[in-house]
Structure 1
Amino acid sequence: MEITLTTPALLFPALSLLLLAFTNRFLGLASLIRNLKDRYATSRNKLVYSQIENLRERLLLIRNMQAFGSLSMFGCVLCMFLLFADYIVAGKYVFAFSLVMMLISLALAIREIQISVKALELELNDLEEKSTQ
């Protein structure tokens, strides 16, 4: 496989957008956690506590998504440096490492979305229980 200096640079826009999306998810969760914490402090509602537990798991996933995405970006920059210095074989290995880090980050994003859906199901189940009472 032929790899040039521009090959790892092709990942920059995708990685930048992914990291921005992950940061936005983190900020949204942080705000939601603060609101739910206040709600739980006043009501001691079991549903609110379940939501907070769900958000705790999602926060850990987002942290890891950001870490693996950042490692992927770091690997791309290192790959470009190695290719620039004519270390082609090392550059290929580092690029492969970057791709693996990006795959892991995306896999964690899929898992986080699944957990997010579970949180919404908790809300819908609570709504259904209240409507049948």
Structure 2
Amino acid sequence: MTLNIETPALLFSATSLILLAYTNRFLTIAQIVRGLKKTYDMEHNKSILIEIKNLNLRLTLIRYMQLFGVLSLFLSVFGMLVLFVEWQLIGIYIFGASMLCLLASLGISFWEISISVNALRVHLSDLIEKDKTN
């Protein structure tokens, strides 16, 4: 089995875009947490504290998404280097590890999105209840 040096390079554009999306999610959630913390400091509302804990979990997941994404990119570059010096078998294993890291990153991303969707449903549930009573 042989692997061309171009094959690991295929992950570059996809991984770069994914990391950019993860960073945007992180920055948005961090901004929301800062605003909620200010509100909580003034009001001490328990629901705000629950929301902050939910967002904290999401920030942790995004950190792991970024970690595995960066590791995937690093292993892709390292795999290309190994293939450049014509160590085929090692290059294949490194590229396989790179794809596994990308898969882990995407799986964690799905988990984080699921948490986000559930949180939005909770927010919208009171509107749905009000709509049913009218």
Q: What whole-Å deviation, never above 9, does each CA across 1:47-90 have from its counterpart, x for those lacking one?
A: 21111011011011000000000000000000000000111100
SS across alignment from 1:3: coil
Query: Structure 1 residue 50 and structure 2 residue 45: aligned?
Result: no
Partner of 1:61: 61
The size of the alignment, in residue pairs, is 132
Q: Is the 8 A contact 2:2 2:88 kept in 1?
A: no
Q: Is the 8 A contact 1:65 1:106 kept in 2?
A: yes
Report how far residue 129 of structure 1 moved: 6.0
SS across alignment from 1:47: helix
Counterpart code for 1:14: A
Report how far residue 125 of structure 1 moved: 2.7
- TM normalised by structure 2 equals 0.92
Q: Is the 8 A contact 1:47 1:122 kept in 2?
A: no
Query: Structure 1 residue 21 and structure 2 residue 8: aligned?
Result: no
Partner of 2:2: 2
Report how far residue 3 of structure 1 moved: 1.0
- TM normalised by structure 1 equals 0.93
RMSD (Å), alpha carbons:
1.5
Percent identity of paired positions between Structure 1 and Structure 2: 48
Q: Is the 8 A contact 1:83 1:91 kept in 2?
A: yes
Q: What whole-Å deviation, never above 9, does each CA across 1:80-115 have from its counterpart, x for those lacking one?
A: 000001111000000000000000000000000001
* Structure 1 residues without counterparts, runs of 5 or longer: none
C-alpha separation in 2, matches of 1:2 and 1:111? 35
Partner of 2:77: 77
